[in-house]
Chains A and B, each alone.
Chain A
Amino acid sequence: VENVRLLDRLSSRKATLGTLYLTATHVIFVENGSETRKETWVLHSQISSIEKQATTATGCPLLIRCKNFQVIQLVIPQERDCHDIYISLIRLTRPVKYEELYCFSFNPKLDKEEREQGWKLVDLNEEYNRMGVPNNYWQISDVNRDYGVCDSYPTEVYVPKSATAHIIVGSSKFRSRRRFPALSYYCKDNNASICRSSQPLSGFSARCLEDEQMLQAIRKANPGSNFLYVVDTRPKLNAMANRAAGKGYENEDNYSNIKFQFIGIENIHVMRNSLQKMLEVCELKSPSMSDFLWGLENSGWLKHIKAIMDASIFIAKAVAEEGVSVLVHCSDGWDRTAQVCSVASLLLDPYYRTMKGFMVLIEKDWVSFGHKFNHRYGNLDGDPKEISPVIDQFIECVWQLMEQFPCAFEFNERFLIHIQHHIYSCQFGNFLCNSQKERRELKIQERTYSLWAHLWKNRADYLNPLYRPDHSQTQATLRPQMAPCNFLYKFWSGMYNRFEKGLHPRQSVTDYLMAVKEETQQLEEELEVLRERLANLQKSQLNDNKVETKQQDRSKQFGLSASNNSLANTPQEYSNDLKSFPSRSPSQGDEEDSALILTQDNLKSSDPDLSANSDQESGVEDLSCRSPSGGGCLPSEDSGKDSDEAVFVAV
């Protein structure tokens, strides 16, 4: 469809004219502008809602909201076209079969071997070995070999050595969806562990001997401690209500030596509504400070983030400081439990704060333990009530921690944003389906590619320059401040206003420092070369005259090549004057830099949504559209007298 206008969300007066294309996988908008022909690509799977608004004189507006928080406003000249697009998109964005998803057609031009290599990048067996299991206390159980006990669990599960198959099966029958207690994280320094399960089917009085034995076994697998924490991550009221349905929580009297604890995290429906409310605030056209803060508070989003953090901090403390094992559950044990176990592991173990470790963590606590990606993120058309930003909250918790511990993470914010993007994109097979079982049946590994390999290949883009493996923050357990420090939790505009570039800092400290580090590396190499040359020269001068001439020829040749080499390494002559150094700040409009940035963007353009660097001068537009620079404050007597100026003030 031609002559479609793409509106700038923040100022309705600014629009770009272009052509809209619909393909099997993407919505593509190509600008008409002769030079740039900027393209906007949106994957169908990213689209969360399409809204046809009332036709106006200029055409028929179409509002597309995406799961990665992009909002696109189009105006289509013909009502009929608009309707067609609307109908097509509705169909395209609601696939009913997995085979329709992008990952089955996405081909990054890798051969079979590379694809298999990619899937091997994250290996959970290796990870359990790294943690230190199997050992004297823990063993791998094959009780779920053919998903016979629990179809949402992985085939390989770690359980206490003293837990026999009989105990496991018995316990599983007493747990929602048969999700019996299994090992999530083991701390080899003190034998304390984090285990996870679903709620017990205790009702008002039911008991299960095997389940009691199971918890006993978990406690005994940690000989240093004489009790076990059982953390129910639901609000107490919700858990009590569940008892009426024959579910519920552990009765301390029935289990020997447990300490039971509620840490109230709200359910998926509350979280979905909360995000919805927060996004409404983000979408406000030019909110006042009060609108924004009030809306943010009213959404409750940060309160929920803090609840997840508080639960995780409690567990990490129990494990690291008290040396006590913890069993975590919520209702089914695949949402809140996954959040809390993974954040706690991340606090405890520096490995999960590396790039590779973070991939492993998501594979372990989310993918393998049957977090229902398909339902939560609406990959296939399904029940809208199942959709909830569960992993988004986990990712935000990590970001909040990165803000508080800037040197503790190997990766940067961009890494988190891209993972979030791909959880919804369905471009890679990692997050398809609701369980390992379904993924195996679909033969995901043979038919699709792994996101982790893709991210790993581009890992240079995701490095945190402040990370150093030998830094104290890197090594230790992270101990965030608890109770009164609400102000530590902040709105993440980098995520939720991700596509409003104008709102973000115009210069990136991360990019700047990465460029410095890169240059440092080049300097180190050059220094090596120079030293070598110097040594050669000095050697040659020591030799006697006759030999010298020959040697000099040689050293000169070498010197020449060396200097060529260094020229290739560094774009400019070094001088004492620092100013002449290649300037590094990415957002500065210097010639060299913009070139450098362009190439970086090209590199990254495999991801269609990647951030372009913002132009500083563009701030003008942002300012004028967001600040009510005229508008309300316009003195009435002056307005409209001079059309030219009226435009400016109203801009």
Chain B
Amino acid sequence: MEFAELIKTPRADNVVLHRPFYPAVEGTLCLTGHHLIFSSRRQDNAEELWLLHSNIDSIEKRFVGSLGTIIIKCKDLRIIQLDIPGMEECLNIASSIEALSTLDSVTLMYPFFYRPMFEIVEDGWRSFLPDQEFELLSSVTDEWRLSCINKEFSVCPSYPPVVIVPKSIDDEALRKVAMFRHGSRFPVLSYYHKKNGMVMMRSSQPLTGTNGRRCKEDEKLINATLRPGKRGYIIDTRSLNVAQQARAKGGGFEQEAHYPQWRRIHKCIERFNILQESLIKLVEACNDQSHNMDRWLSKLEASNWLTHIKEILTAACLAAQCIDREGASVLVHGTEGTDSTLQVTSLAQIILDPRCRTICGFESLVVREWLQAGHPFQQRCAQSAYSNSKQKWEAPVFLLFLDCVWQILRQFPCSFEFNEQFLIMLFEHAYASQFGTFLGNNENERSKLKLSQKTMSLWSWVNRSEELSKFQNPLFEANSLVIWPSVAPQSLQLWEGVFLRWNRPSKFLDEAHEEMISIIKYNKELQAKVNALRRQLAEMETDDRMQENL
């Protein structure tokens, strides 16, 4: 298919662009295969807006006489309005945008066409390999092994080719365990807590069904992670009710009788469409300009977004608490183990592991616990808050995770190497990107699409010093402690950087940020100067002393 077929009117003049907090600008609108480009003709202040079609969540058209208006709502929550003279042009452009922003084929997406304009220092596709992770692990413990059982994605389609499992469990046993777990997602290592050797594992629900099936290998596998005489915790991210209902569909949960060394805790985290609806309501509330103070608070409340944040953080804190405070190992799962499970395991690591609070460590966490762990990004992020799709796959699971990270960052502003911008950037790229990183639903699909050969990795771009400097937190000071966030309602806030980003003037906050950077920069410069002078003085003094001795 040629993109040209979809573009009936490639260009329109005298288009007026409206955005909140900016004066309207007149200019030319161009459509290409992947972008909507608006350039103002003003000589003094030429301005260009490039918008990826894949970033467009929904489009509305309106007509007043022959003047057409297109309202474009983006996945990054921005809303822009374009006034296009001429009914036909307007209709053509609207239908082109509609078609181009809803291409079904992944291989037509921009990452397959994007040619980087920067020098690649390090190939991001090779930056975070499981072998490296395992090497780190082997330096502290020899109780685990790297299994290639899923090499051809033959055992579990949503797992990566290699996984870390207890050494004492052989591949044969793993195969049996896979049969006993939903989607074959058998328990694998998620995190090893160096401080006390406790671990966090994740999996999907066991397929106990109504007649209480059991699987000895499964029991053996997870028991292998326990120290003698110790007990562990299973955190089920569903309510007891939901878990019980799951038995009717062949799923279920670990029976007390078969897992006597484990204590099960149910922490309900909502799923799929409930989260998607929550996002839609929240963004609606943020965009609603008409209401008064009372309406705003009740709409914020009715969206339940912060309730979800609180639930997820609480479950993650509980997991971290079990590991660090109780000295117990933990297994986390929900139903499939691809959504709420990953929220819990990745947030727990941020709480426990200082490495995950660095830029590189956080990227590695996203790769391990989200991309390789098989969070279906393509399904979940197909649409954002302005969608009205009837499909049930979309859900802001990853955005909720980022929001939770932001909440912790806000409570510990000096303990993270990255800043809010970094999290926002990841949000944007998860929904629309020139990079291939978030394409596909799991490693299996990614390898079939040959993403690592055909597209550029987000990490190749981010991890260059030019880009990194934008994402560094000037206040960062390595903090080796476990950080325990508060989950009280008073401590949780709306993430304005994402949800009010386009609806509030940010000038004064940006200025404050700049001021912060310049205070710290000046301090560092002085340190360097003082150090240099001290060295110089020391040298001169030794010279003197030598002369004296002569």
Hey, which bits of chain A sit against chain B, CB under 8 A? 282, 286-294, 296-297, 300, 302-303, 306, 404-408, 465-466, 468, 471-473, 481, 483-491, 493, 497, 500, 502-507, 509, 512-513, 516-517, 519-520, 523-524, 526-527, 530-531, 533-534, 537-538, 541, 549, 552, 559, 574-576, 578-579, 581, 583-585, 587-589, 616-620, 622-624, 626-630, 633-638, 642, 645, 648-649
Contact = CB atoms under 8 A, between A and B. Distances in A.
Contact of B519 (A502, A516, A581, A627): A516
Interface in B495-530: 496, 500, 503-505, 508-509, 511-512, 515-516, 519-520, 522-524, 526-527, 529-530
A537 B264 contact: no
A473 B265 contact: no
A516 B529 CA distance: 16
B318 A583 contact: no
Interface stretch (B66-74, B187-195, B294-302): B294-302
Nearest to B253: A635
A409 B520 CA distance: 19
A303 B294 contact: yes
A364 B541 CA distance: 60
Nearest to B482: A617
B286 interface: yes
A147 B5 CA distance: 87
B129 interface: no
Nearest to A494: B490
B489 A620 contact: no
B245 interface: no
A638 B415 CA distance: 37
Given A296-B297, A541-B544, A617-B481, A635 B266 contact: yes
Contacts of A504: 486, 491
Contact of B512 (A466, A490, A497, A574): A466
B512 A406 contact: yes
A579 B527 CA distance: 12
Contacts of A292: 489-490
B536 to A, nearest CB: 7
A288 B537 CA distance: 62
A637 B256 contact: yes
B321 to A, nearest CB: 6
Given A405-B508, A635-B264, A288 B307 contact: yes
B465 to A, nearest CB: 17
12 contacts: A289-B489, A291-B489, A297-B301, A406-B508, A407-B515, A486-B296, A487-B500, A489-B293, A505-B410, A537-B544, A559-B537, A635-B265
Interface string B465-506: 000000000010111011111111111111010001001110
Contact of B307 (A290, A465, A534, A635): A290
Nearest to A649: B265
A406 B510 CA distance: 10
**B286, B295, B505 pick with most chain A CB within 10 angstroms:** B505
B530 A487 contact: no
A472 B314 contact: no
Interface in B391-450: 410-415
B486 A503 contact: yes
Given A616-B483, A623-B321, A576 B414 contact: no
Contact of B486 (A623, A637, A649): A623
Interface string B288-315: 0111111111101100101101100010
A303 B292 contact: yes
Contact of A473 (B326, B478, B511, B527): B511
Contacts of B520: 513, 516
**A471, A497, A585 pick with most chain B CB within 10 angstroms:** A585
A517 B321 contact: no
Given A506-B411, A645-B263, A523 B515 contact: no
Contact of A503 (B264, B298, B490, B537): B490
A497 B297 CA distance: 19
Contacts of A500: 488, 490
B95 interface: no
A503 B485 CA distance: 9
B267 interface: yes
A516 B524 CA distance: 10
Contacts of A289: 301, 304, 306-307, 309-310, 489, 492
Contact of B317 (A287, A574, A627, A634): A627
B39 interface: no
Contacts of A303: 292-294
A642 B544 CA distance: 75
A527 B530 CA distance: 6
A481 B307 CA distance: 28
A633 B239 contact: yes
Contacts of B268: 633
B324 to A, nearest CB: 8
**B310, B478, B491 pick with most chain A CB within 10 angstroms:** B491
A487 B508 CA distance: 16
B18 interface: no
A617 B482 CA distance: 7
Given A473-B511, A559-B541, A626-B486, A634 B414 contact: no
Interface string B251-293: 0000010000001111110000000000000000010011111
A623 B325 CA distance: 12
Contacts of A645: 231, 263
A282 B492 CA distance: 14
Which 4 pairs, one residue from A and one from B, show the smallest C-beta to C-beta distance?
Answer: A619-B484, A292-B489, A406-B512, A297-B297
Given A466-B512, A617-B484, A627-B314, A297 B306 contact: no
A62 B520 CA distance: 49
Contacts of B526: 520, 523-524, 527
A599 to B, nearest CB: 20
A408 B491 CA distance: 25
Nearest to B290: A484
B531 interface: yes
Contacts of A533: 537
B533 interface: yes
Contacts of A505: 410-413
Given A289-B306, A472-B511, A513-B516, A493 B490 contact: yes
Contacts of B286: 487
B284 to A, nearest CB: 13
B49 interface: no
B240 A635 contact: yes
A287 B326 contact: no
A509 B264 CA distance: 39
Contact of A486 (B292, B509, B537): B292
A627 B264 contact: no
Given A293-B300, A513-B516, A534-B537, A491 B490 contact: yes
Nearest to A639: B263
A509 B476 CA distance: 11
Contacts of A559: 537, 541
Contacts of B307: 288-290
B489 A288 contact: yes
A628 B268 CA distance: 11
A531 B492 contact: no
Contacts of B541: 537, 559
B508 A404 contact: yes
Nearest to B485: A619
A552 B321 contact: no
Contacts of B483: 506, 616, 619
Contact of A523 (B309, B500, B527): B527
A402 to B, nearest CB: 10
Given A488-B504, A552-B548, A633-B239, A537 B515 contact: no
B540 interface: yes
A630 B326 CA distance: 14
Given A527-B529, A633-B265, A585 B414 contact: yes
A465 B540 contact: no
A45 to B, nearest CB: 27
B151 interface: no
